[in-house]
Chain A
Amino acid sequence: MLVRRAPWVCQTCRHHGPSASRTYSTAATRQRPIHVAIIGSGPAGFYSAYRLLKKLPDARIDMFEHLPVPYGLVRYGVAPDHPDVKKSAETLVDVAKHGHFNFAGNVPIGNDPGCLPLTSIAPYYDALLFAYGASRDKKLDIPGEDLKGVLSARAFVGWYNGLPEYADLDPDLTGGDTAVVIGQGNVALDVTRMLLAPLDELRKTDLTEHAIDTLSRSRVNNVKVIGRRGPLQAPYTIKELRELMQMRSLGFAPPPEGWDKLIRVEPRKRLPRQLKRIAELLEKGSTTPMQEAEKAWQLGYLRAPAAFLSSNNEQLEAVGFEQQEYDSPVSDLITGDAPTDLNGLRGLRVRSTGAKSLVHAHLAFRSVGYQSTPLEGFGDIGVPFDQARGIIPNDRWGRVISPSKGPAGPLTAGHVPGMYCAGWVKRGPTGVIASTLDDAFTTADIIAKDWEEGTRFLSSPDGDADGTKGGWTAVKREIQRRGIRSVSWYEWEKIDAEERRRGQLRGKEREKIRRVSEMLAVLDGYGRTSYM
C-alpha cells in the first residue's frame, strides 16, 4: 500500500487564474484518483491503460482516438493474414469495459475545426499520455517519387486494411508483371505477401472485398524486395521471411551475387543464433521450387534507390539503384560473444561504390519506415518534438523531457510535469506489438511511481478542494460544445457487430467499413451526419 501524506492544498496556487505562471499539483493532493488522458488507441495506449489500472486501481482513464474505431495499427497495419497477431486486440476488451475507462472515438486531437485542442483537455487531467503512433511515412527524397506507379507502402497497407484515409487510393496493379518494393522491413514483406498470396487464402481473412477485387485483377507475378544493406542487416524478422518462403506456388530467387558474397561469415555457425537462423532460412530458399512456381519473389541487397525513371515523365518504367559495399570486413565483427556479434553485425554500415544498376518495373512501393509528427498545439502545452528522430523527446522511461522547459522554469532541462509518451511516438516506428507492450508498461509504471512519490503533475485552477480534476465530465462538455460527434465504446461495439454481420454474409470474420461517414451512419442512420 502506498503511504499517503495528509492533504494539503497551497492556497496561493489555487487562487491563480489560468494565465498565471504554471502551477503544479504535488503529493499533497494525492488522496484522490489520478486522471489520465491517453491520446491514441493503438497497443501503446491500451497496454498503458491496462497497466495503469493494475498499478493504480482507482485511476480514471480517458482515451481519445482520431477514428471512430479503436486499435490503431492492429486494425490498420497488421496484415489480414496475421489473425493471431490481431487477436492481441481481444486482450484489450477488458480494459475498455472497465468502469474507470472512457473511450472517445472520432475525436482527433489538434487545432483544426472538428478537432479537440490539447489546451482544452490539459486542464482536466493530471497527466497526458501521448500514444498516437506514427501517421506519416518516410520519403526517399530522390527524383521521380511522384511518378504514377510509385506508391507509399503505408498508403497501400492502409488501403488493403480499409483505412478511411486511403479508401480512394485505387492502386493500379495491371501495368506490368514486376513490382519493386524498396525497403526490407516487415511492412515491405507484408506488401509482398499481399501482392503474391493465393487469393483463395486471402478471401478467408478480413481483407476488404474492395481490395480482393483489385488484387484479383492484378498482373503482378514477380516482386523484387530491395534494400540498402545486406541480408543480416535488413530489418525483416524471420517469421515474415518464413511465411513467404512457405507460401503456396511462390518461388524464391536468390540474390544475383550469391549468399556467400553477401553473408561473408564462414562457417555460418559462427553467427549469433538469430542471424544464423535467418541465414539458414534464406539459403534453403522456397518450399516451392522455381520451376514449379506460378509467381516469384527475390531479395536484392546492397542497392540504394537513386531515382524513379520514366521516359514520358508520367508513368514509372524503371528504378535506378546505386551499388553499396560494407564499410568494414564482416568477419572482423565476429568476437564469439553472441550479443556483441549480434549488435555488430546488425549495425554494419555500407557506403556507395558509385556503380549504378536498373530494375524495370511499372510499380514500386516505398517502404522505408513510418514517421511520427508533432501534434498540433504541442507548443501551447510545452511539449517539444524531436523532428530529426521523429519522436517526443523522453527519458526512455516515458517522461517527456524538454531542454528548456523543465520544472524549475525557463532554461532548465527536465521532465515536463504531467506529460508522458509510449509506443511508436516514444521509441520511433520500429518494433512488434510485444515491444510496444513492454514499452507501454514501462511508461505506465513510471506514471504510477511518479504519482505515488509526489512528483509534480499537471495542475489547473478548476480542481475542487482536494485538487480532483474535471476529467471526463468536463471534457465531454468541451466535445459537445465543439459539435464533435464522439463515438463511445458501446457504439464501437455496434460498428463492430455490423462489420461482423457483413463478414458473415461473405463467409469471413468481418467486412470492414471503409468510410467514416458509413461508420457513423451505422450509429445515426444515413443522412444525419456531415462527416467526410
Chain B
Amino acid sequence: MVQRQCIAATTRAFSTCTLSRPASRTTPPRIHNQLSHQRRHLHQTQPRTTRTPLTHLQHTFPRRNTPKTRTFTTTPARSHGDLTPPKPGEERHVTFVDKDLQHHTFVVADGDNLLDIAQANDLEMEGACGGSCACSTCHVIVESDEMFDRMEEPSDDENDMLDLAFGLTETSRLGCQVVMRKELDGVVVKLPSMTRNMQASDFAEKS
C-alpha cells in the first residue's frame, strides 16, 4: 500500500515539475492488472539510488518501443505468481501473430497463461477484467486445429464469454484461460484485429 502511494506521489510530482519536458519521454499508463501490479512492486523494491523521478516513472511501466519483429525473447526472471523463468530443458515456445501479421515468439515456462505472457511483452492484449474470464478482451485464435485439440476443453464460463467475442472462430480461446504446458510447446495464436464496431452486423436494425 505504501508503495502504491509512493507511485502516486511520484506521478503527481512529475506532472507539476516536468510539463516542458519532451513528450516522447513520458510513458502512458498501462491498464492495471495483477501482473503490472506485481511488476511495479518489484521495481519499487529494487535499489534505485540514482534514478530521477522521470526514469523512475518509466520503469514502473512496461517497456516501450520494443522492436516490432522479435523472433526470440526470453522473459526476465520474476517471482511470486508472476512470469517465471523456464527451468533449463523445460522451455516452452509461444508465438503471437499481431494484427499487422508480425510474429512474436517467446520462451516461457509451464503455468504461465497467454494473457500474462502477452502483457509482459507489451503486445496489444487488454485483459480488461484482469484475467477473471469476465470480459473477452483477451480473445486469441489458435492457428492449428491440432494444437487447439491438445488444449484442455474450455469451461462453460469461457465459452459463454467467447460467444460474445467479435470474430469468433472454431479455434478461439480466451488468452487468460490458456495455460502453457509441455503439450502446447510451439503454439501459435493470432490476435484478432479490433474492428468490432466497424462491422455491419453491429448496425443491423434491431426491432
Contacts and interface: CB of A to CB of B under 8 A. Distances in A.
Interface of A: 1, 33, 50, 53-54, 57-58, 82, 84-85, 87-88, 90-95, 97-100, 229, 235, 237-239, 242, 273-274, 277, 339, 342-343, 346-347, 349-350, 396, 427, 430, 432-435, 437-439, 441-442
A229 B207 CA distance: 9
Nearest to A94: B29
Contacts of A93: 32
B163 A238 contact: yes
B26 to A, nearest CB: 5
Nearest to B165: A434
Interface stretch (B87-95, B141-149, B190-198): B190-198
Contacts of B197: 396, 427, 435, 438-439, 442
A442 B197 CA distance: 8
A54 B28 contact: yes
A99 B129 contact: no
B151 interface: no
Contact of A85 (B129, B159, B202): B129
Nearest to A346: B204
Nearest to A98: B29
Nearest to A229: B207
A471 to B, nearest CB: 11
B166 A438 contact: yes
B141 to A, nearest CB: 14
A94 B26 contact: no
A223 B93 CA distance: 51
Of all A-B residue pairs in the complex, the 9 with the closest CB atoms, nearest first, are A99-B15, A58-B23, A94-B29, A84-B134, A53-B28, A239-B160, A54-B28, A84-B132, A91-B31
A98 B130 CA distance: 20
Contacts of A237: 160, 163-164
B179 to A, nearest CB: 18
A84 B7 CA distance: 25
B1 to A, nearest CB: 11
A342 B164 CA distance: 12
Chain B: number of interface residues, binned into ranges? 35 or more
A504 to B, nearest CB: 15
26 contacts: A57-B27, A84-B134, A87-B129, A88-B128, A91-B32, A91-B33, A92-B31, A93-B32, A94-B31, A94-B32, A94-B36, A97-B12, A98-B11, A98-B28, A99-B11, A99-B12, A100-B26, A229-B207, A237-B160, A237-B163, A273-B163, A274-B168, A277-B160, A343-B204, A432-B135, A437-B135
A29 to B, nearest CB: 15
A100 B134 contact: no
Contacts of B29: 50, 53, 94-95, 97-98
Nearest to A46: B31
Contacts of A1: 24
A187 B196 CA distance: 22
Which of B30, B163, B168 has the most CB atoms of chain A within a 10 A radius of its CB? B163
Interface string B91-134: 00000000000000000000000000000000000101110111
Given A85-B134, A434-B164, A57 B126 contact: no
Contact of A50 (B7, B11, B31, B33): B31
B134 A82 contact: yes
Contacts of A441: 194
A239 B12 CA distance: 41
A229 B135 CA distance: 27
Contacts of A349: 207
B32 A434 contact: no
Which of A1, A53, A99, A349 has the most CB atoms of chain B within a 10 A radius of its CB? A99
A434 B198 contact: no
B135 A57 contact: no
B8 interface: yes
B23 A57 contact: yes
Interface string B1-31: 0000001100110111010000110111111
A277 B157 CA distance: 12
A98 B16 CA distance: 11
A238 B11 CA distance: 42
Nearest to B170: A273
Nearest to A432: B164
B137 interface: yes
B154 to A, nearest CB: 11
A84 B131 CA distance: 9
